[in-house]
Amino acid sequence: MNKKQIAITLGVMCFLLTIAICVQLRTMSSASSTVSQTLSDNGLRDEVLRMKEKYDNTYSELENAQKELEKIRQEATQNDSTAEAKEQEIRENNILLGNTDVTGDGVEVVLADATVTNSLNPSYQIIHFGDIQDVVNELKNAGAEAIEINGQRLVNTSAITCEGNIIKINGERVGSPFYIRAIGSQSLLYGALTRAGSYLDIIREYGNTAEVTKVDDITISKYAGSITYEYMKEDK
């Protein structure tokens, strides 16, 4: 074998060796990336589970404290008409603030995205946070005394917001279909939502679902969060 053939053979061997090294490095890099992503996902999941456990424990402590407070109030107001009147006032205020479960007749509204696209602008066939807000406003204007959306009780400090394509109520993520339940005069609530030109008619025009039915004995759960204030103070 002459020098030229030896050089060619060595060159081919070096080339093949280089390819093998590159493939190995890429494989190791991919494996490392997969392992890192898996570790990251596991860490994120563990953190979410820890936060949920902490929230559940805190909420449980809050419920126990509220039960204990109610027990103390009842014991303190026994055989005391003035104290009983104050206790009744506290209960009524808690109802108005959304701090207690309530029941009564009312209506249920179901809003859902269109299932068939038949519009030049597909965004019209999606229920937006503004649609929910407008329906809630119509219910409030018709005298709704308590409103709940997908299990989230609305109170004075509640917010219906949109973050990208995610709708949040009281900071909690909710999605279509939206179940809006309201307690109040059935005739007034139902009439406001079914009148000609109501906002539900506008939603239906684009193929979205917008239904309203009268429901007896609706139960709406109390507000799960805490109501705080920063700028108000008593006017003495």
Residue 153 lies in a domain: yes
| Whether 150 and 54 share a structural domain | no
User: What is the spatial distance between Cα 162 and Cα 158, in angstroms, rounded to a whole number?
Assistant: 13
User: What is the spatial distance between Cα 115 and Cα 125, in angstroms, rounded to a whole number?
Assistant: 8
Residue 230 lies in a domain: no
User: What is the spatial distance between Cα 185 and Cα 144, in angstroms, rounded to a whole number?
Assistant: 7
User: What is the radius of gyration, based on Cα positions, of the chain?
Assistant: 30
| Whether 111 and 67 share a structural domain | no
Contacts of 42 (CB under 8 A, 6+ apart): none
Written as tens digits, the pLDDT of the chain (236 aa) is 555 555 555 555 655 566 666 566 566 656 555 655 665 666 777 777 777 676 666 667 667 766 776 776 666 666 666 666 766 777 777 777 778 899 999 999 999 998 877 666 778 888 999 999 999 999 999 999 999 999 999 998 888 998 878 899 998 999 999 999 999 999 999 999 999 888 899 899 888 999 999 999 999 999 887 777 778 877 76
pLDDT at 77: 61
**Burial grade of 128 (CB within 10 A; 0-12, 13-18, 19 or more):** middle
Q: Which residues constitute the domain of residue 180?
A: 102-220
pLDDT at 147: 96
Polymer length in residues for the chain: 236
Q: Chain-centre distance of CA 157, in angstroms? A: 15
CB atoms within 10 A of CB 114: 19
pLDDT at 146: 95
CB atoms within 10 A of CB 182: 30
β 152-153/172-174 pair status: unpaired
| Whether 28 and 115 share a structural domain | no
| Whether 64 and 131 share a structural domain | no
Residue 46 lies in a domain: yes
| Whether 129 and 67 share a structural domain | no
Residue 90 lies in a domain: no
pLDDT at 112: 94
Q: Which residue has the tokens 């494989």?
A: 27
**How many domains does the chain contain in total?**
2
